[in-house]
Amino acid sequence: MSTQKLILTQEVTGLGSSGDTVEVKGGYARNYLLPRGLAIVATRGAEKQVESLRRARAAREVRSLDEAQSVAGRLSGLTVRVPARAGAGGRLFGRVTTADVAAAVTAAGGPELDRRRIELPSSIKTTGQHTVTVRVHPEVTTQLAIEVVAG
């Protein structure tokens, strides 16, 4: 099997984050990473782009472990209500997305979160209490309780 050397342009769960140079199987690169814009082929010119990606990632990333733990503490004490259109019986029209959760956290007075750092357990298609996981830092994750309400 052939492998390809790529530079990630966005965070890919289980592979790396923006600016990392990774070596993956050819099919994974050709059929998934490259068409979705998650990576670029590693060339000499692309190595220069890696520096700008790393600088951008450093600006977005939570600076330190202590700061990440304080953010996680703020999130755990937060009550987040996500409004969604629902029919009879509490079934939603559509589903709750990570972008909806990130917007609701900000609206509830919490820190601004990147939607890619929020992991939903499965599709949220009903009203009520749900729990989502937030990766604040590579070493810090926290559980966030959300309440989906008809609205």
Q: List Cβ<8 Å contacts ≥24 apart for 15-18.
A: 17/57, 18/53, 18/54, 18/56, 18/57
Tally of domains in the chain? 2
Predicted structure pTM score: 0.64
Q: What is the reported pLDDT for 43?
A: 87
Question: Who contacts 67 (Cβ-Cβ below 8 Å, separation ≥6)?
Answer: none
Question: Who contacts 3 (Cβ-Cβ below 8 Å, separation ≥6)?
Answer: 23, 24, 25, 26
Query: Which amino acid, one-letter code, is at 67?
Result: E
| 60 & 89 share domain | no
47 to 15, 20, 55: CA distances (angstroms): 18, 10, 13
Distance CA 132, CA 130 (A): 7
Q: What is the dihedral of CA 55, 56, 61, 62, to 10 degrees?
A: 70
72 is a domain residue: no
Q: What is the reported pLDDT for 104?
A: 93
pLDDT digits (tens, 9 = 90+) for 86-130: 998 889 999 999 999 999 999 988 888 888 889 998 889 999 999
Question: Residue 11's domain spans which residues?
Answer: 3-66
Distance CA 103, CA 100 (A): 5
Given pLDDT bands bounded at 50, 70 and 90, which one contains residue 138? confident
Given pLDDT bands bounded at 50, 70 and 90, which one contains residue 19? confident
Higher pLDDT, 137 or 33: 33
71 is a domain residue: no
Q: What is the reported pLDDT for 63?
A: 64
Q: What is the reported pLDDT for 99?
A: 92
pLDDT digits (tens, 9 = 90+) for 37-65: 999 998 888 877 777 767 766 666 656 77
Residue 30 sits in a domain whose CATH number is 3.40.5.10
Given pLDDT bands bounded at 50, 70 and 90, which one contains residue 6? very high
